A = this chain, B = another copy of it.
Amino acid sequence: MRRSKKERQQLLKQKINENPFITDESLAEFFHVSVQTIRLDRLELSIPELRERIKHVAEKQFDTVKALSLEEVIGEIIDLQLDQRAISILDIGPEHVFSRTKIARGHHLFAQANSLAVAIIDDELALTSKANVRFTRRVKQGERVIAKAKVINNEKERTKVEVTSFVEQELVFSGEFHMYRRDLLSEGEKGEHEDRN
Minimum Cβ distance to chain B for residue A91 (Å): 17
Query: A110's contact among B98, B114, B132, by CB below 8 Å, is which?
Result: B114
For this complex, into which size category does the number of interface residues on chain A fall?
Answer: 20 to 34
Contact residues of A between 95 and 120, Cβ < 8 Å to B = 98-101, 103, 105-107, 110-111, 114-115
Contact check, B132 vs A132: say whether CB atoms are below 8 A apart.
Answer: yes
Minimum Cβ distance to chain B for residue A161 (Å): 12
* Chain A positions 75 through 107: 1 when the CB is less than 8 Å from some CB of chain B, otherwise 0: 000000000000000000000001111010111
Query: A99's contact among B69, B110, B133, by CB below 8 Å, is which?
Result: B69
Contact check, B99 vs A138: say whether CB atoms are below 8 A apart.
Answer: no
Residues of A within 8 A of B (CB): 68-69, 72, 74, 98-101, 103, 105-107, 110-111, 114-115, 124-125, 127-138, 195-197
Further 5 A-B residue pairs, CB within 8 A, beyond A105-B111, A105-B114, A129-B134: A74-B107, A127-B135, A130-B132, A132-B132, A133-B133
10 closest Cβ pairs, A-B complex: A107-B111, A106-B128, A132-B132, A130-B134, A107-B114, A131-B133, A110-B110, A106-B114, A128-B135, A107-B110
Sample of 15 A–B contacts (CB below 8 Å) = A69-B99, A105-B115, A106-B114, A106-B128, A107-B114, A111-B111, A128-B135, A130-B134, A130-B135, A132-B132, A136-B196, A137-B195, A137-B196, A138-B195, A138-B196
